[in-house]
Structure 1
Amino acid sequence: MSSGELMEYLTKWFEDNQTLFIDGIISLVVAFFIVWLGLKLAKFCSNLVMKLLEKKSVDKAVSAFIASLLNAILVAAVIIAALSHVGVQTATFVAILGAAGLAIGLSLQGSLSNFASGILISVFRPFKAGDFVQAGGVSGVVKEIQIFSTILTTPDNKFVVVPNAQVTGSPITNFSKNDTRRIDMVIGVSYTADLQKAEALLKDILEKHELVLKEPGYTVGVSALNSSSVDFVVRPWVKTSDYWPVHFDLTKTIKLELDKANIGIPYPQMDVHLHSVDKK
């Protein structure tokens, strides 16, 4: 085929397929515009979500992960939309992605559960770093809230990593949440003791202690008549930061003052009675 014939053939082909050719170019331009605009919107949405999470005081690591995950999902949707616009069959591609996502989700369900729990902890904030809590069967000071786990330091300085799903799957006790705490003590005195004198002595100890709060008021009263003792409940209110120092100090002071007043603190005991039996 000569060059003249080739040019004639190409010209005729272009004339016959001019509409299809132009439509294809337009589709490519529109697809390019979809990708360009979609990427811009994906970035805008991910940045917006990250800013909103930061305003809610969500941990930066969690907010960054959520923003990047949202960005990846939006980018995938934009690419699928662009391919679909140029005539590429994306149904099979979407089905493959769905199956792969399901397989990955099943294999990582434990990690995903911990991740979701980490988001819940960061959003609802049942505790924060520095709080003393009991969570997931562990008591300690919260050092760090990570995406998949919460780091605690126990009172004896053990480093404990608790999965977030375990934290949210059990009751959470935050001992640092409120400014004040009540100390609950049970003090037993002997049955021969003067109860009014013992009660007055316990109240005097609380009145004189400088760290015991005046409001709300303390409680001192007889709570039980046990087998070996008459039990008083002693319930003063203190600042949360003073809980253990006051608890230890009151325990020591009460023992010393009861000894000075000759009020006995009994311990469990058993009386053995011997009966003589006449031998016949």
Structure 2
Amino acid sequence: MVLNSTNAFTWNDVLGFLKDIVFKFGPKLIIACIILYVGFKVIRFLCKRISILFEKRNLDPSLRPFLMSINSIGLKVLLILTVVGYLGIEMTQFTAIIASAGVAIGLALSGTLQNVAGGVVLLVLRPFRVGDYISAQGYEGTVKSILIFHTTLVTTDNKVVTIPNGALSSGSMINYTQMETRRIDLEFNLAHGIDLDCVSNAIIAIAKQDKRILTEPDVVVIPTISQLAISIDLRFWCKTGDYWDVLADMNKQVYDYLVREKVALPYSKIDIIKQA
């Protein structure tokens, strides 16, 4: 139906035009909505099946969330393109619309695209994996997941930290659990006048009694003498998984030894000279 070209058209003309639109495109819109609804259900089912397949194939946990995000986004884009084609919108026109908005979208999503590229870099270079304890961007925690846009950490006090992949891939980080062994440095300040050899040998003996402490490299003590105190730096190696337990136990054992043997500790003092 065509509206009258004159200004004197009636409401019947308007209603007739709207009816033509509804009858012409209404069924297709309804079917398109049904296709979208069913399609999203199917995509969710496929993603679950793919996730189960990844687990059966023992795929690296670091790769699973990232690949699942790519699969989900790719399938949804394919579904939308299918619906657009069903509605009769020519792909050339659709592509032209997307291209015309590409500059604005690119500027708006520049940071997001950088995060996607950063996620790819992280998965290719593998500076860390899920389960590693890292320090990056001012935060420390265990890596929980590496997603397409960001990486999540869980801190020691059970907080979840979200770090964009772009910043994570381009910044500095420390991976505390990548190596199999770690060195522990314990520093104790003692008073002047102590038997340095006796105390050093006793502390080394305490460390060697712990089976979790490795014999290679050997346990060493490095003394440093200053005006206020004698500083003893005890260095030894252990497996990365035992780090925190060994650190706590050795601190307690050395402290108990110093108290038991009444080893003098340094105290701040001020010398006052009274002149007549």
Q: TM-score if structure 1 supplies the norm length?
A: 0.65
Equivalent AA in structure 2 for residue 177 of structure 1: Q
Give the C-alpha shift of residue 262 in structure 1.
2.5
**Partners in 1 of 2:75 and 2:120 — Cα distance?**
14
Instruction: Work out the number of aligned pairs and report it.
Output: 207
Match of 1:228 in 2: 228
Provide, for residues 97-133 of structure 1, a one-character-per-residue CA deviation record: whole Å limited to 9, x for no partner: 5553232111111111111111111222211111111
What is the match of residue 63 of structure 2?
Answer: 59
Distance 1:252 1:61 in 2: 42
Identify the residue that residue 276 of structure 1 maps to in structure 2.
275
CA contact (8 A) 2:208 2:219 kept: no
Alignment-derived partner of residue 260 in structure 2 = 260
Give CA-to-partner distance per residue, 1:119-166, whole Å, 9 cap, x none. Answer: 111222211111111122110111111111111110011111111122
Shift of 1:189: 1.4
* Largest Rg, 1 or 2: 1
Asked whether the 8 Å contact 2:70–2:148 carries over to 1, the reply is no
Aligned residue for 2:244? Answer: 244
* 1:63 Cα deviation after fit: 3.5
Distance 1:104 1:209, change over 3 A: same
Match of 2:146 in 1: 145
| 1:1-280 → structure 2 map (5 Å cutoff) | 57=60, 59-63=63-67, 98-222=99-223, 224-267=224-267, 269-277=268-276
**CA distance change for structure 1 residues 60 and 247 in 2, over 3 Å: closer, same or farther?**
closer
> 1 CA distance for matches of 2:105 and 2:58?
32
| Superposed CA offset, 1:4-39 (max 9, x none) | xxxxxxxxxxxxxxxxxxxxxxxxxxxxxxxxxxxx
Q: Which runs of 5+ in 2 are unaligned?
A: 1-56, 82-91
Aligned residues of 2:69 and 2:147 also touching (Cα < 8 A):
no
Aligned mates of 2:266, 2:230 — CA distance in 1: 9
- Provide the TM-score with structure 2 as the length reference: 0.66
Runs of 4 or more, structure 1, over 3 Å off, are 54-58, 60-73, 92-99
SS in 1 for 2:221: strand
Percent identity over the alignment is 33
Per the TM alignment, residue 94 of structure 1 is displaced from its structure 2 partner at its CA by 7.6
Q: 1:176 to 1:156 in 2, by over 3 A?
A: same
Report the CA distance shift for 1:144/1:94 in structure 2 as closer, same or farther (over 3 A). Answer: closer
Unpaired runs of 5+ residues, structure 1, are: 1-53, 77-89
Q: Hey, what's the Cα distance between the residues in 2 that align with 1:201 and 1:248?
A: 18
